[in-house]
Amino acid sequence: MNAMGCRAHIVAHLPGLLMLDGRAVGPDEPQQAVQALRHQEVLMALMLTSACLVHKLVTSCFCQPCSIQWLLSCPMSTAAWRSS
């Protein structure tokens, strides 16, 4: 986590904080920090969902070896894509 990410976490969880690391906490900074953390949470959930979906796609086909090129050429997976 970078310094800005740490600052956002601290400011979001301590909204009454006036100063951090020798820098004043701006009046809008707590609200902006909460929004930034929510945005980060949504992106992390999306990445996790995508990773799980890729894992399911790779492991659900009976063909071997498992690779992205193989997945794209797998008859079982392309038939499902064509029917949708």
- Going from N- to C-terminal start, the domains of the chain cover 3-83
For 7-20, write each residue's pLDDT tens digit: 999 999 998 999 99
> Which of the four pLDDT bands, split at 50, 70 and 90, describes residue 65?
low
What per-residue confidence (pLDDT) applies to 83? 47
> Which of the four pLDDT bands, split at 50, 70 and 90, describes residue 34?
very high
H-assigned helices in 1-84: 3-13, 29-60, 68-73, 75-83
- Give CA–CA dist 7/36, Å, rounded: 11
